[in-house]
Chain A
């Protein structure tokens, strides 16, 4: 069965620290990849997505992610986090002809000022 694994469940950083959140998926064919963010008390919003082309994808608010096909990974990065990045981050994958997104369990990020 297709699955998505997010390695870090809780991350605590200080402002200006660098961030990398891991996401791995299990599917050998064509995938569409997404990172969503959920700020406290709000709904999920799209951070960035990868469908094809350049494997380094830039999203909103300075986030980027790199698709490494050989590692089945789509890690999220930000060079310098801010307190306002405190949120929950979800990786999601749409694989093959699947009509549904497969979701990771999420990573809770707390950034201390």
Chain B
């Protein structure tokens, strides 16, 4: 089993460009999360989903959008990229509420 797969691993964007970070899981977990990680700032939750068709904002949703049309996929969309969105992005899944999270390998995004 692949677990949680994120693509791409690295990306450089120009200011104002858009892109979609892909996240796919084969663990059949209902819960999926997008985090960003900045040095010394820990993990900040961007969006999360408790099942197909259901998404909700986390701590830092501005500048991002998500969708959850299937259990497996939870893409994160960046519209009009800004330098402040330079970060490492992690997708994670969980079987249900109150259980551990399983992380993907991350996407390192630089906006210049």
Shortest distance between the CB of A58 and any CB in chain B (Å): 16
Residue A34 lies at the interface, judged by CB distance under 8 Å to chain B: yes
Instruction: Give the A-B contact count at a CB cut-off of 8 A.
Output: 47
Q: Which residues of A contact B58 (CB under 8 A)?
A: 100
Shortest distance between the CB of B58 and any CB in chain A (Å): 7
Shortest distance between the CB of A60 and any CB in chain B (Å): 13
Residue B111 lies at the interface, judged by CB distance under 8 Å to chain A: no
Tally of chain B residues near chain A (CB < 8 A)? 23
Contact pick for A103, options B40, B42, B102, B106, CB 8 Å: B42
Q: List 26 A-B contacts (CB under 8 A).
A: A32-B99, A34-B100, A42-B105, A43-B104, A44-B43, A44-B92, A44-B101, A45-B103, A46-B100, A46-B101, A49-B100, A90-B42, A92-B101, A94-B99, A98-B97, A99-B48, A99-B50, A99-B97, A100-B33, A100-B45, A100-B48, A100-B58, A101-B101, A104-B42, A105-B41, A106-B42
Write the residues of chain A forming the contact surface with B, with a CB cutoff of 8 angstroms. 9, 32, 34, 42-46, 49, 51, 90, 92, 94, 97-101, 103-106
